[in-house]
């Protein structure tokens, strides 16, 4: 029998946490529960969950800070939960590396569907990367890294080096940079980038892509041999003189 996937629920409202747990257990997941940020970080190390449902408003360390700490060393998928529905809050969560964002109150069926969708994306990611590799010239990169003058991006260990100095960035920023550089001089629409980086089931705004491109440009300046280009009315591309 296949081992059940483990979901960690982080919410300071014990009633809500227990209710979510009941939904997930009914769908054949196992669950563990934490009620504050410090407990969440400790339990994350001990339990090694397959996915985290993370409330933003937590006593002590809030959900954003918990996510920051987790993303410093791990790519475990995270779905943010919040009563806040403003675009700023959603974009901030996604910028920090969340895989999805749900607004309270939410329907139990939608929650379970999103959990399954995020887990599917995670466990099918390796297959998608293999498909990408088959479409890229071997002279430009191998199946996990891209190398251009002054720029080295590795999806194997999630590192970026610009002019020989390491640049820290959240997973989604790195994945977006890697994907564009993986296909030099190919134009992608915002919708295509959402599909490839966030997944087909992602329910979000195309402005998410614009925000991530803006952050990349702040960290990775244009080079004489390559640059992140905007194709007005279409989308973005990684423009390189090496075709």
Strands (E) across 14-103 are located at 30-34, 51-55, 78-82, 100-103
Instruction: Over range 117-140, report the average pLDDT.
Output: 55
Q: What are phi and psi of 151, to 5 degrees?
A: -140, 125
d(CA 199, CA 182): 17
Which of 1-10, 49-58, 140-149 is most confident?
49-58
State pLDDT tens for residues 148-205.
999 999 988 889 999 989 999 888 899 999 999 988 899 998 888 888 887 755 555 6
Domains of the chain: 6-123 (3.40.50.2300), 135-240 (1.10.10.10)
- Token pair belonging to 150: 């002054």
Q: Angle at CA 175, nearest 5°, toward 77 and 4? A: 25
Residue 229's alpha-carbon distances to 42, 91, 173, in angstroms, are: 42, 22, 16
Burial category of 155 from C-beta neighbours within 10 Å (exposed 0-12, middle 13-18, buried 19 and up)? buried
Predicted confidence at residue 203, as pLDDT, reads: 53
Q: Which of 47-56, 64-73, 135-144 has the lowest mean pLDDT?
A: 135-144
- Token pair belonging to 99: 């895989």
Question: How many CA within 13 A on the CB side of residue 112?
Answer: 15
- Token pair belonging to 16: 């809500």
Strands (E) across 69-183 are located at 78-82, 100-103, 145-148, 151-154, 159-162, 165-166
Instruction: Over range 107-122, report the average pLDDT.
Output: 85
- Token pair belonging to 161: 């080096």
Return the bridge partners of 115, or none.
none
Looking at every residue in the chain, the average pLDDT score rounds to 83
pTM exceeds 0.75: no
């Amino acid at each position: 029998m296949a081992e059940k996937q483990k979901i960690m629920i982080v919410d300071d409202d014990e009633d809500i946490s227990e209710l979510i747990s009941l939904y997930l257990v009914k769908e054949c997941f196992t669950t563990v529960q934490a009620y504050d940020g410090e407990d969440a970080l400790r339990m994350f190390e001990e339990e090694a969950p397959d996915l985290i449902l993370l409330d933003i408003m937590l006593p002590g360390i809030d959900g954003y800070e918990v996510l920051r700490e987790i993303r410093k060393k791990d790519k475990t998928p995270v779905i943010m939960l919040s009563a806040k529905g403003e675009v700023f809050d959603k974009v901030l969560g996604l910028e920090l590396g969340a895989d999805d964002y749900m607004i309270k109150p939410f329907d139990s069926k939608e929650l379970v569907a999103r959990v399954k969708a995020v887990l599917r994306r995670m466990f099918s990611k390796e297959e998608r990367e293999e498909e990408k590799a088959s479409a890229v010239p071997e002279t430009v990169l191998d199946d996990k890294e891209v190398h251009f003058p002054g720029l080295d991006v590795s999806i194997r260990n999630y590192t970026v080096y610009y002019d020989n100095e390491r640049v820290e960035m959240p997973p989604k920023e790195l994945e977006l940079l890697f994907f564009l550089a993986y296909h030099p001089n190919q134009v992608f629409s915002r919708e295509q980038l959402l599909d490839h980086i966030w997944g087909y089931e992602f329910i979000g705004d195309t402005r998410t892509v614009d925000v991530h491109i803006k952050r990349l440009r702040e960290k990775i300046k244009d080079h004489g041999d390559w640059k992140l280009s905007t194709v007005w009315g279409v989308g973005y591309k990684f423009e390189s003189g090496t075709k």
